[in-house]
Chain A
Amino acid sequence: MISISNVTKSYPSAPRAALDGISLEIEKGEFVFLVGASGSGKSSLMRLILREDVPNGGEIFVLGQNLVGIPNRRVPMFRRQLGVVFQDFRLLPNKTAAQNVAFSLEVIGKSAGFIAEAVPDVLRRVGLEHKANSLPSELSGGEQQRIALARAIVNNPAILLADEPTGNLDPKTSEEIMALLERINLAGTTVVMATHDRGIVDRLKKRVVELKDGVIVRDEKGAGYGVQR
């Protein structure tokens, strides 16, 4: 599903490589936590999987697609198979919850008929069908993140990337989001989640990949957040 071998990524402005020769295999249906301090390379790795960046060395295959050699014009098609959520939700403030979800389908050319069915359906999946016509400013942080999740999964992606999705939420709301992510995972979507939230990682006992200074220092199944190094 995701196959990373010996990948290096450095930025011109930084003296040290963000990722320094890492290798990682993620199978279909897995739930993986990426943990590590800020600057350990979690975000760089997510960006590479999304093909927002190209590595300086090594190979990345995602969904059978070689992300180093893929031509720019094929990138959009590739991204349609991925869903992404962020710490800051990234909803459009002038669109309602339903419009925000519909927007992501409109811009990839889905038909009005498909959108009319898929949007209420996915809002039901995240438990917010009654907030379809609310603007993001009228929703709580947890609700906004659930809308963002609805937008990420409405096109049934094979992989869901979540970059600190609970970073801005209180513990109780975080639990709700995690329950939702687990349900999405159980439905067959591979989930890769970068997080700092020790409590969540410890409680869910999933596979944990720990990064430090651009290197994988631990890759353990059914593990906890681990000792702070």
Chain B
Amino acid sequence: MNLKFVLSEVSTGLRKNLSMVVSVILVTFVSLTFVGTAGLLQMQINTMKNYWYDKAQVAIYLCTNTSPDTVCPQGEASPDVQKTIMAKLDGATLKPFIKKYYFENHQQAYQTFQQQFKGNVVAKYVQPAQLNETFWVSLKDPNQSAVITESFSGVTGVEQVKDQRTYLDQIFNILNIASLAAVGIAVLMLFSATLLVSTTIRLSAVMRRREIGIMRLVGASNFYIRLPFVIEGIVAGLIGSALAGGAVFAIVQYFVQGYLVNQLPLTSFVGLGDAAAILPLLIGAGVVLTALASNNAIRRYLRV
């Protein structure tokens, strides 16, 4: 194996085909950046799930005078309702599932509301009596919220039982859709990247058809003839995926850690470690993809 010869062939190919090679690099770069972003989004979703699911509670809202008649025909829940619920929560059936619970009366709910909607016009008009008295229940395993929901739904004086995770799931669904969209775009772009690689390699082969013709005549092995083209593809893919890796790091460093963290201080975000975990994936995908595409292209172009 004459490495020097192969490498000089590669560099000739890359130089003569520069504009196509640059386009391959750019398409690989952009598509793998989408792949990397999708990966980051998934990691972010998992981080947030771990963080928020732990904190999520099940709320048992008691009836108020303003509750709809269909669920609360008797109006404001009586103190007896509170006692029944407390007894049930402390009972042998439910106790093993519950980490802790607390009761929030009208006045406390009003204060919380005033804090959350500070500056909002709504805060001026709302009355303590309009806000539900609520049992906030933290579960040992947040996945078992159905136990609480089933025990208290339809109980007299209970307006609604709501697992907070259903709110979170909506957010996660949106994030999931976003990451799916990123993957979709990435797949399209990777497809065009492979087509571009094929075209580039063919052009490169056409430009070197005299050399290839002679190589075939004097009995150069197929491997030897294809190798410079495959390396050409790999070099382009490697540069593209390295750029994509850089972009993913930059997104984490400057957008997530530099901006989002300050905007949403209570949320935990993906860090550079997560980006580092994605990097080998991106480079692997870029190299394997371009190598396969160029090998495929040159194989179809060059039959013995």
Contacts and interface: CB of A to CB of B under 8 A. Distances in A.
B218 A80 contact: yes
Interface in B223-268: 224-225
Contacts of B220: 76, 107-108
B221 A76 contact: yes
Contacts of A84: 217
A75 B213 CA distance: 14
A108 B219 contact: yes
Contacts of A75: 219, 304
A107 B304 contact: no
A79 B210 contact: no
A90 B210 contact: yes
Given A72-B304, A77-B219, A79-B217, A109 B210 contact: no
Contact of B218 (A51, A104, A112): A104
Contacts of B225: 107
A61 interface: no
A107 B224 contact: yes
B219 A92 contact: no
A78 B214 contact: no
Contacts of B216: 76, 79
B90 interface: no
A110 B211 CA distance: 17
Q: Which of B1, B211, B219 has most chain A Cβ within 10 Å?
A: B219
Interface string B262-292: 0000000000000000000000000000000
A35 B276 CA distance: 70
A99 B214 CA distance: 13
A85 B40 CA distance: 60
Report the contact-size class of chain B (Cβ under 8 Å from the partner): 10 to 19
A73 interface: yes
A106 B224 CA distance: 10
Chain B at the A interface: SS class: helix
Contact of B224 (A103, A109, A151): A109
Contacts of B2: 106, 109-110, 112
Q: Which of B5, B211, B215, B220 has most chain A Cβ within 10 Å?
A: B220
A148 to B, nearest CB: 10
Given A107-B224, A108-B220, A92 B5 contact: no
Given A72-B304, A75-B304, A109 B1 contact: yes
A155 interface: yes
Contacts of A112: 2
B222 interface: yes
B23 to A, nearest CB: 25
A80 B5 CA distance: 19
Contacts of B218: 79-80, 104, 107-108, 151, 155
A92 B1 contact: no
Contacts of A77: 219, 221
Nearest to A100: B214
B222 A104 contact: no
Interface string B176-215: 0000000000000000000000000000000000110111
B224 A90 contact: no
Given A73-B222, A75-B304, A109-B224, A104 B5 contact: no
Q: Which of A78, A108, A112 has most chain B Cβ within 10 Å?
A: A108
Contacts of A80: 218-219
Interface string A136-151: 0000000000000001
Contacts of A78: 219
A77 B218 CA distance: 9
A78 B214 CA distance: 15
Nearest to B208: A92
Contacts of B211: 92, 103
Interface in A63-100: 72-73, 75-82, 84, 90, 92-93
B214 A76 contact: no
B265 to A, nearest CB: 63
Given A107-B224, A108-B221, 14 more contacts: A50-B217, A72-B303, A72-B304, A75-B304, A79-B218, A80-B219, A82-B219, A84-B217, A92-B214, A106-B5, A107-B215, A108-B220, A151-B218, A155-B218
Interface of A: 50-51, 72-73, 75-82, 84, 90, 92-93, 103-104, 106-110, 112, 151, 155
Give the 8 A-B residue pairs with the shortest CB-CB distance, closest first.
Answer: A79-B219, A80-B219, A107-B220, A104-B218, A76-B219, A76-B221, A72-B304, A107-B215
26 contacts: A51-B304, A72-B222, A75-B219, A77-B219, A79-B217, A79-B219, A80-B219, A82-B219, A90-B213, A92-B211, A93-B210, A103-B214, A106-B2, A107-B5, A107-B215, A107-B220, A107-B224, A107-B225, A108-B218, A108-B220, A108-B221, A109-B2, A109-B224, A112-B2, A151-B218, A155-B218
